[in-house]
């Protein structure tokens, strides 16, 4: 039985519980506009922190601005040890529409807005939401480096990148995290997980709960989940925690019951043989 580390030090100094909370779902339909019930969204955020979740991940594009404002209203001033991660560099043209903009002046403006909405003087982890093909990443991250030097950003991460892009970014600025789509059923970024594991960089999988064949009733995950008195989504999260010590899953939800279920995933323990069986089914 492999023991799974419960915590991870982001950037070597910000210790977080490995199961975080992704705050995309606390916005309206299509990640656009406010949620139907803003007060209930704030209660979910407060409950997450009560349950020991101390990594909250958001982005200026969620809403836009809605998720950051809810976090600022619900949680600021932040309890000791709570780490807020946000992202910038994706603009919104309507529900479910996203376009990258990596111009230095735009990113600088967005960091200032994030600080205001999150009601903080420093962003613990700021992540470039997408690399803008029209702007050299050196220019985008150059602006961020200035803000980091000014004490407005502590650590910097990337999102939806490949290893060569991480290498390129690391020549400009220290990169402590990478956020890509990844789960047991969708492992096209396995090379990035390996890169991050090797370099001690946090890998934050978005869409961390497996969908598809594997998760279907009667499938391998479903079978193992029933055996352990767990749900398929809990098992998907537990697999991520087991798969690499640098993985920090950030399941999101707008329901307290679902949040409480997700958090319990960190208590699940399977034998190496059981994980190997699930692995082979996944392949």
> Quick check: is 62 catalytic?
yes
Among 62, 78, 182, 195, the one annotated catalytic: 62
| Percentage helix, strand, coil for the chain under 3-state DSSP, each rounded to 5 | 40, 20, 40
Residue with tokens 């890169």: 195
Instruction: Using DSSP, state whether 154 is helix, strand or coil.
Output: strand
Q: CA-to-CA distance for 229 and 78, rounded, in angstroms?
A: 35
Query: Residue written as tokens 């150059």?
Result: 142
Give one DSSP letter per residue of 122-162, joined into a string.
SEEEEEESS--TTS-HHHHHHHHHHHHHTTSEEEEEEES--
Token output for 185: 């059923």
Catalytic positions:
62
């Amino acid at each position: 039985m492999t023991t799974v580390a419960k915590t991870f030090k982001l950037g070597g100094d910000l210790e977080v519980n490995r199961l975080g909370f992704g705050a995309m779902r606390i916005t309206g339909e299509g990640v656009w506009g406010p949620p139907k019930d803003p007060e209930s969204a704030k209660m979910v955020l407060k409950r997450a922190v009560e349950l020991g979740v101390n990594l909250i991940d958001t982005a200026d594009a969620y809403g836009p601005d809605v998720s950051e404002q809810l976090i600022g209203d619900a949680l600021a001033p932040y309890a000791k040890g709570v780490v807020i991660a946000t992202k910038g560099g994706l603009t919104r043209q309507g529900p479910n529409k996203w376009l990258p903009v990596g111009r230095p002046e735009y990113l600088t403006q967005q960091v200032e807005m994030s600080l205001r909405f999150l009601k903080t003087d420093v962003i613990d982890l700021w992540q470039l939401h997408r690399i803008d093909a029209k702007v050299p990443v050196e220019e985008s991250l150059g602006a961020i480096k200035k803000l980091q030097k000014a004490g407005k950003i502590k650590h910097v991460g990337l999102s939806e990148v490949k290893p060569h892009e991480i290498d390129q970014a690391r020549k400009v600025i220290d990169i402590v995290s990478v956020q890509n789509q990844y789960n047991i059923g969708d492992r096209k970024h396995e090379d990035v997980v390996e890169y991050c594991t090797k370099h001690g960089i946090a890998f934050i999988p978005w869409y961390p709960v497996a969908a598809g064949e594997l998760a279907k009733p009667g499938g391998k995950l479903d079978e193992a989940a029933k055996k352990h008195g767990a749900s398929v989504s809990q098992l998907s999260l537990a697999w991520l925690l087991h798969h690499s010590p640098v993985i920090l899953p950030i399941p999101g939800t707008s329901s307290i019951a679902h949040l409480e279920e997700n958090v319990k995933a960190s208590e699940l323990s399977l034998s190496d043989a059981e994980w190997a069986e699930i692995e082979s089914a996944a392949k």
